A and B are shown apart, each in its own frame.
Chain A
Amino acid sequence: MIKIALFGMDERAQNIITMFLSKNTQIPTVITPRGEQTVAIVDLDGVNSDRIWRDLRRQFHGPAIVLSVREQTLRNAYCLAKPFNAQAFLAVLEQVKKELTPPAALPSAKPSAGAQTPMAANGMAARIPAATPHLNVHQSAQPLAAKPSPGLNPNSASTAAPVNNNTPALGELAQARASDAVTAKHIKTDQPSNAAHLISDESDDEGSFQLPDEAYTDPRRRAELFFNPNQTLTGLCKLALKQAKTANSVVLIDGLLKPCYIYPDAKHLLTEMRWRYLKSVSMINLTASPLKLSLVPLESIAPLSSNDPRIRETEGIIWSIGAWSSRGRVPAGTPLDHPVHLLHWPNLTRLSDIPGAMQISALWTKQPTSLMDTAVFLGLPYRHVFSFYVACQALGLVHIEVAAQHTPVQMQGNAPAPKAAPIATEKRGLFSRMLSKLGIK
């Protein structure tokens, strides 16, 4: 019987894993209080995950299974990339079981200090050669920096040095990587299952990340309304887009589950990463991840004219990543009470849906309104307004009026006083019924 303790998870995630393990009869396990475990399962995507991991390792040196959307290389740990499936989870448990059963049935499967293997996407327990790139285009990649940063992921296929940028987040990423002694455990999963969805839904569940409406009007929680985009995927993509444009070259974002290539036209990117993974990774702080940017010769990857399904339009992805990274917050320093101008409507038929996007677009076009007032006037949750703002900002569609003399918008009923002729109540009723007829909820 393997004694397992769970770390870094909320109650829901704990319940899901407990339920899954209790129904699994192949490998007998039992959930025990912390301190009594023979194996630890740790979610490394939480806010305090670094501290949780350090604390755990001070007290417990046995095998650990770490769950993360990021590539993790940790000593004596089996890394399981989210989203993962039941088979992958069981495969890891099987390896742990063998490790705990002397003599080890598969000594070669044990973690070996010093070797480095990235955590791979979604898959069955299988070892992939560490140096095999997902796309064999890196060999001739050109460095962007004079000196490569030490400790960067050696098996993420790049011989190129990272972009030499001043973004603190990326500097921290490199440092975090450099200080990490590494162990090789490699799980690859490709087949989803219900159990996997339940587990990975923990990070998919926006509700668990987003602020309640009362937080927005509570002065004591003011700081929670802001985030640093440079520490999220949206900041990284923005930097990559800028680098691609400046260098007129393809930029590789390396260190995520799979490589992502940004084309210099700024309209296309190439990646095999699925939306679900992108969403998960967008919602976390990337400061501890070993990410890097490097230039790649254009001729070494698929031409834009090809029908390669991995080539996607940048606009839609940048928009979604912006909204996910926001999690109902706005970049630090954003004035919440200054009018927001929408430069033009987003292409809402081809961008992922953000609740209230149409209403907010219409209001900001007609009458620039502050973020806080927008939520009140339109009766929308603040988090939707804030997320929409960040998505628009990612596409360069908004700016905030910073003039000192801002006259607050007058309220009339639950709507701002429009500069145009007021709408008769009769028509609002009609419009409401029409929206309902069109299937708008």
Chain B
Amino acid sequence: MAQHKIIFTGPVGAGKTTAIQSLSDIPIITTDEVATDMTANRKPQTTVAMDYGLMKLGDGERVHLYGTPGQERFDFMWEILTEGGLGLVLMLDNTRERPFQDLAFYLKAFAPFIAETQLVVGITRMDESKTPSLPEYHAQLKQQGYKVPVFEVDARVKKDVAALVQALLYSLDPGVISGAPA
């Protein structure tokens, strides 16, 4: 049976693990460890290899949900994780010092994968920090040649995370209809 995967990426504390948890049909498998570096300022535990969740579609068909480690020193994992992926969900924390720098970093790091698939961007913690605004994110993305969905999300809310995946699927194929036969 076919296996598929969606990749969640973004900086430490942006909500990747929580987002996968919101969608997964199984308890997520995570490789969090106690942070011993600067990461500890934002999050007591951090993902060092990957997070893993699973969406079961029935008849044994599965969509694997992979979360990349947030720290750049684990970026050797990213290429392996993205192979064969359907698309990229980029989570950004709006309370971080330089969200646009984060955006630029991940766009560059995943450029080959995005070129082959699609990208959606979820901005978390906008209730705590209103800036940058979504139009400013769109402007940044446009400068880099991207015109992709950017939504304000709460990673704990399934509806929000589902909307990101929904937008990803429609970006890949606007004509898809929910529940239609293959």
Contact = CB atoms under 8 A, between A and B. Distances in A.
A106 interface: no
A404 interface: no
Interface in B63-91: 63
Given A345-B148, A358-B166, A358-B170, A430 B175 contact: no
Contacts of B63: 434
B28 interface: no
A253 to B, nearest CB: 25
Chain B contact residues: over half helix, strand or loop, or mixed? mixed
Interface stretch (B7-15, B30-38, B53-61, B99-107): B53-61
Nearest to A441: B178
Which of B55, B159, B175, B177 has the largest number of chain A CB atoms within 10 A? B175
Contacts of A345: 138, 148-151, 167
A193 B81 CA distance: 56
A363 interface: yes
B169 A436 contact: no
Interface string B129-158: 000001100100010000111111100000
B182 A429 contact: yes
Interface in A390-426: 413-416, 418, 423, 425-426
B148 A431 contact: no
Nearest to B122: A349
B152 A361 contact: no
B134 A347 contact: yes
B149 A434 contact: no
A439 interface: yes
A362 B55 contact: no
Interface string B163-181: 1011101111111111111
A427 B135 contact: no
Contacts of B150: 344-345, 347
B174 A436 contact: no
Contacts of B174: 359-360, 362-363, 366-367, 377-378, 415-416, 418
Contact of A431 (B61, B160, B169): B169
A348 B167 contact: yes
A428 B176 contact: yes
Interface in A366-390: 366-367, 377-379
Contact of A347 (B58, B147, B152, B176): B152
B57 A437 contact: yes
Q: How large is the interface on B (under 10, 10 to 19, 20 to 34, 35 or more residues)?
A: 35 or more
B163 A348 contact: yes
A365 interface: yes
B177 A432 contact: yes
B175 A414 contact: yes
A1 interface: no
A146 interface: no
Contacts of A425: 182
Given A379-B177, A413-B175, A439-B162, A430 B182 contact: yes
Nearest to B57: A433
A350 to B, nearest CB: 5
B179 A436 contact: yes
B180 A362 contact: no
A427 B175 CA distance: 12
Contact of B147 (A344, A429, A430): A344
Given A345-B150, A358-B170, A437-B57, A431 B163 contact: no
A363 B4 CA distance: 24
A367 B174 CA distance: 10
Given A344-B150, A348-B163, A427 B171 contact: no
Contacts of B179: 432-433, 435-436, 441
B138 A344 contact: yes
Contacts of B152: 347, 349-350
A438 interface: yes
A47 interface: no
Interface string A340-358: 0001110111100000001
B178 A440 contact: yes
A330 to B, nearest CB: 20
B170 A423 contact: no
Nearest to A436: B179
A435 B178 contact: yes
Which of B63, B171, B177 counts the most chain A CB atoms within 10 A?
Answer: B177
A436 to B, nearest CB: 4
A344 B6 CA distance: 23
Contacts of B162: 438-440
B181 A429 contact: yes
Nearest to A415: B175
A432 B182 contact: yes
A312 B164 CA distance: 25
A340 to B, nearest CB: 13
Contacts of B173: 415, 423, 427-428, 431
5 contacts: A345-B151, A428-B175, A428-B176, A433-B58, A434-B169
Q: Identify the 9 closest CB pairs spanning chains A and B, nearest first.
A: A429-B182, A415-B175, A435-B178, A362-B170, A363-B174, A362-B174, A344-B138, A436-B179, A423-B173
Interface of B: 2, 4, 23, 55-58, 61, 63, 134-135, 138, 142, 147-153, 159-160, 162-163, 165-167, 169-182
Given A360-B174, A377-B175, A438-B166, 11 more contacts: A345-B149, A361-B167, A362-B167, A362-B174, A365-B148, A423-B172, A427-B173, A430-B4, A433-B182, A434-B55, A440-B162
